[in-house]
Amino acid sequence: MITIKNEHEIALMKKAGAIVKDALCLAEEKIKPGMTTYELNRLIHEFIVKQGAHPSFLNYNGFPASSCISIDDVVVHGIPSKKTVICEGMLVSVDVGAMKDGFHGDAARTFAVGEVSAEKRQLMEVTKQSFFEATAILKNGMRVGDIGNAVYNYATKFGYGVVREMIGHGIGTKMHELPDVPNYGEAGRGVRLVTNMTICIEPMINLGTEKITFDEIDGWTVRTADGKPSAHYENTVIIKEDGVEYTTL
């Protein structure tokens, strides 16, 4: 069921979103060559807890950490590890969720660690911009297909692969709610977006093929099928009468 939030619920979602925003700002500040993804996750976890919130991802369907940290060819759901060291030149995607007073916020960023290649930097920038290409056109009465169409058309102009299996989603008292929000689709089709609907839009864009693989051992890690880098950018947004409002920016 799709839930439309009232003003009180929107206010609570903004509080959760602000915690997620600040957790990602902390990650951007602290990330550096030589640290492990385990250490970065620990800092994020401690920050969220200090805000009186709960890390949404921790133990969610069995996920063992408070953030997903995905490096280079890992598209999403990278599990933080003491064995995974962040190095100069990597793209590191950090996905964070926080629940405060019963409502969730969710967002992701891809960070360049030190000097990265020109092709990695462009991938990161295009992925971010594909998100804003979608939100720039949104308002009450538009369709979910308009989101995916905008993301897909922008990213594919650069020859990139748009991941199909991993998608955005509704959000509220549950981390994942309806509607599904794919990064591809036909404009003017799909679920109608109405004022005070809250959704996560999250382009996952690959440098090469759109195809991905799922790790059969850990059950979580998603990688590009060709081993080329991927980038991820996400925010929780509120559909408004004449646009959108961001809770995690």
Quick check: 74 and 222 in contact, CB under 8 A? yes
Quick check: 147 and 185 in contact, CB under 8 A? yes
pLDDT given at position 72: 98
Q: Let me know if residue 176 belongs to a domain.
A: yes
Domain tally, the chain = 1
The yes-or-no verdict on residue 145 having pLDDT over 90 is yes
Q: Let me know if residue 143 belongs to a domain.
A: yes
Domain that holds residue 102: 7-246
Q: Let me know if residue 1 belongs to a domain.
A: no
The mean pLDDT value for 125-148 works out to 98
Give which of 115, 130, 139, 137 is closest to 203, Cα–Cα: 130
Q: Let me know if residue 67 belongs to a domain.
A: yes
Round to whole Å and give the CA distance between 225 and 230. 11
Q: Let me know if residue 64 belongs to a domain.
A: yes
Q: Which residues contact 186 (CB under 8 A, 6 or more apart)?
A: 145, 149
Quick check: 111 and 89 in contact, CB under 8 A? no
CATH number for the domain that contains residue 206: 3.90.230.10
Quick check: 155 and 162 in contact, CB under 8 A? yes
3-state secondary structure (DSSP) of residue 160 = coil
Q: Let me know if residue 209 belongs to a domain.
A: yes
The yes-or-no verdict on residue 1 having pLDDT over 90 is no
Round to whole Å and give the CA distance between 91 and 88. 9
Round to whole Å and give the CA distance between 111 and 90. 8
Give the rounded percent of residues in the chain with a pLDDT score beyond 90.
100
Quick check: 22 and 29 in contact, CB under 8 A? no
Phi/psi at 41 (5° precision): -60, -40
Q: What is the pLDDT of residues 165-223, one digit of tens each?
A: 999 999 999 999 999 999 999 999 999 999 999 999 999 999 999 999 999 999 999 99
Q: Let me know if residue 158 belongs to a domain.
A: yes
pLDDT given at position 165: 97
* pTM, two decimal places: 0.96
Alpha helices in the chain (DSSP H): 7-30, 37-50, 118-135, 144-156
Q: Let me know if residue 112 belongs to a domain.
A: yes
What distances in angstroms separate CA 50 from CA 22, 23, 47, 53, 91, one per listed residue? Answer: 12, 11, 5, 7, 28
Query: How far apart, in Å, do the first and last CA atoms of the chain sit?
Result: 27
Query: Both tokens of residue 248?
Result: 């995690």
Round to whole Å and give the CA distance between 185 and 26. 34
